[in-house]
Structures are given as C-alpha cells and as structure tokens.
Structure 1
Amino acid sequence: MAEQPRLLPLFPLNTVLFPGMEMPLRVFEPRYRRMIDDCMATDDRAFGIVLIRAGREVGRAAEPYEVGTMAHIEEVTPLGDGTLAVSAAGRRRFSVLELVRERQYLSAMVQILDEPPGDDVERASQDVRAAAQQTLRRLLALNGEWVARVPLSRDPLKLSYSVAERLPLDLPVRQELLEAETTSARLSLELPFLAAEGRRVEELLVQRNWLGGLALN
C-alpha cells in the first residue's frame, strides 16, 4: 500500500543524490539555514534533494526535476562565518506532486516511490556486478590504488545505486538512473556506461603502461 503524500522541504542542487549515499553540504543562504533549522525541529529531520532543471542554486528559486531523494540530516555543525556544515544521507526516492512556495524556501507535496525489482533482476545484478568489479578496479588503478576486489553489495537495489554513484556520469544520465522505474531497469541502463567507462580507463592504463599486474578479463 502506497504511503500518503507528505509535505517536504526541497533543496534544489546541481547534483543527484541516490538512496543510501552520503552528501556533505555547506549551507550559507539564510533561506536554507532556516530550512535546516525547521528540519531539525521535526522527528525525521528530512528534506528533499532535487536536481535543478532550470535556474541556479543561489538566488531565485530554481525549477527542479520531478523525482528526487529524501535526505535525513545526520549532523549539523555551525561554522564561524555563519555557514552550516550539514551531513545528510539519502534514504528514499520521491515524486513531486505539487510545488509549494509558502515559505522562504521551496517545498513540495511529494509521493514516496516504491522500489519494484522488475524482471530478471538477479541476472541483471550479476551482469552489473561483474562489469562494475572490472571497471571500478581499473578506475582505482588509474589513481594508483591496486585492489584484488572492490566491495559491492549483493543486494540488487543497493548495487544499482552504488554503481550509479561511483560512475563518472553527466547529471542528466544520473537523473535518468534515479528515475528508473525498477531496479532491473536501472541495472540494465548502467551496463553500457560500465562498458564504455571500462574501455576508456583501459586505454588510459595502456598509455601509462600500468596493465602488467591487472587482469583484463
């Protein structure tokens, strides 16, 4: 049974937060400092992070995409210049039903989204895990870090978000992955990006003659 819609403060940003991921924030605008104060006064200390579709982070209210991630405040540290250092963690996706502009900051009536697994999710998960293992090892090697195995979740949903977070993708692609209707669909979307990134990193490693100790298969 779907949860009831709820009112959620929104923080439009030029980034995509995935469920299960951490996000440090530096909050300096008065309206968003007020938003953080209001959130801290609630039981779940929740707000929504949404990618900006049009507009800017600073100044007039930006137009957000319709799907975002509910974040929960874990820690707030006031800094000497009046800025707030906020540690937040992504929890669940939501869809914006209606924007609400009654306060200094943007809010919305939102619907929490379910996470259906989709068709053949286990096979999709196995394919992505294998491809991600190879590609992420090469990415680490590119930065001088050599590991035998990259820790990856066995849970298909967690894996889908972890891979989306770790791949160097453009914002529209990250938003597309966030909006995927099923876990299987998200994993399937990630496979070609993993393959492309794997080829790109392999070429760079070959150029640097770093492939001697790294298996290509």
Structure 2
Amino acid sequence: MFPLEVAMLPGEELPLRIFEPRYVALVSDCMAMTEPAFGVVLISAGREVGGGDQRCDVGALARIVDCQNFGVDRYRLRCVMAERIRVLRWLDDDPYPRAEIEVWDDEPGTADASLLADVQDRMVALFDLIGEARGVAFHSRDIVTAAAADPIDPLYALAARVPMGQADRYSVLCAPSAAARLDALSEAVDTVTAMVEFQLSE
C-alpha cells in the first residue's frame, strides 16, 4: 500500500519518484509480480514521509506501466490508476504499509443522462470562469467532451479535470454507484464554482 496526500481516481496517471527505503522495498517486491501493482489510499492525517499517518480505507490500484531503476535505491515510476479498492484490514507496516483489500465494484444504478448533461454544462461554465480569472482562454467544451467520451469511466474522467479539494475527490471515489458518483461530482462543481465566483468578486 502507498498512502498519499491525494485521492487518486481510476484512470488517472500517477508519476512517482521512489527513494524512501520502505517504498524501495515495495517497488522491488511489486516488480517481481507478473502484473506489478500496489494500492493507493488518501492520507486523512499526517504526512507521506516517515510513517505514522492516518489512512482512509477506500482507494484504487496503481498499475506500474513503466519503471526506471536509477540504482542506489532510487526508482522512477509511471503508474495508471485502475480498479477501486476497499481496505478490509490494515496489517503491520513491515517493511512497508500493507493491507488486506478487495476490489470494490459499483452497485447497480446508472447516472441520469439529463443530470450528466447539466453537470457537463456547468463544468464548461466553470472552466470559462477559471479562464477569466487567469486571463487565458480555455477550450472548455473540448475538455469536457473529451472527458465525457472516456471509454473506461466518464465520471471519473470528468472529476479528474475539476480542480476540487481532496475531500470532494474522496467523495467521488467513495460513491457506491454511478448515480451517487454523479451527485458527488455535481456538488463538487458547485463548490468550486462558488469559490471562483467569490474570488472574481473581490
């Protein structure tokens, strides 16, 4: 397991530089696997380095797609986040964080098409607002359309493009169904939009 201060969503890429001894050992063990992967969860309190952190129990598998070994116990990884997981039981951190996990599939229930279209429209408006705040023009509709066409999970792809906080990202990740995930994404878009509008009003 690799606790991070970021709630990673399925489909996202995760680049890592590995130098801490416990994670050097983790990478070494992973690369001995046929399909090297490890679990990633959000740190709810504490820091990434040194241990002693408090960890959330929902995360995702990180599949290692490229591993560069620089010697002297240093690696550079490129990972792609895959299946969502739940921690059943944390084990001793020896020699690195470990847990018993299960893959967490969605519960039945599809996302409402009209609400999805509405969320996409609000995302376009949000990106236009962010562009106005930064003085740059985004191709907002193209960004949203490309995410919505993601073949694996459009909702995770859409959420990954919204500059939301970690609590909102974790809510999207923890949503038990596609319908609940869309609700969480909708709330996050509203929250970020309100923050940007407040900044523009100052």
State the TM bucket, normalised to the shorter chain.
0.7 to 0.9
Output the CA distance in 2 between the equivalents of 1:134 and 1:27: 39
Q: TM-score, with normalisation over the residues of structure 1?
A: 0.79
The question of 1:87 aligning with 2:78 is answered: yes
- 1:15 is aligned to 6
> Which residue among 103, 107, 123 is the counterpart of 2:98?
107
Q: Can you give the 5+ residue segments of structure 1 that lack an aligned partner in the other structure?
A: 1-9, 208-217
Which structure has the highest helix share of the two?
A: 2
Alpha-carbon deviation of 1:58?
A: 1.4
Contact 1:44 1:72 in 2 (8 A): yes
The question of 1:175 aligning with 2:170 is answered: yes
Match runs of 1:180-195 below 5 Å: 180-195=175-190
Greater Cα offset, 170-179 or 84-93: 170-179
The one-letter code matched in structure 1 to 2:190 is A
Work out which of the two has the higher radius of gyration on C-alpha atoms and give 1 or 2.
Answer: 1
Q: Can you give the 5+ residue segments of structure 2 that lack an aligned partner in the other structure?
A: none
Alpha-carbon deviation of 1:60?
A: 2.8
The question of 1:165 aligning with 2:156 is answered: no
Output the CA distance in 1 between the equivalents of 2:47 and 2:140: 42
Match runs of 1:44-59 below 5 Å: 44-59=35-50
Contact 1:53 1:64 in 2 (8 A): yes
The question of 1:118 aligning with 2:113 is answered: no
- Say if 1:71 and 1:54 are closer, same or farther in 2 by CA, change over 3 A: same
Output the CA distance in 1 between the equivalents of 2:201 and 2:44: 38
Output the CA distance in 2 between the equivalents of 1:116 and 1:134: 31
Q: TM-score, with normalisation over the residues of structure 2?
A: 0.84
Contact 2:148 2:155 in 1 (8 A): no
Output the CA distance in 1 between the equivalents of 2:127 and 2:181: 18
Alpha-carbon deviation of 1:24?
A: 0.9
Supply the RMSD in Å over aligned alpha carbons: 2.6
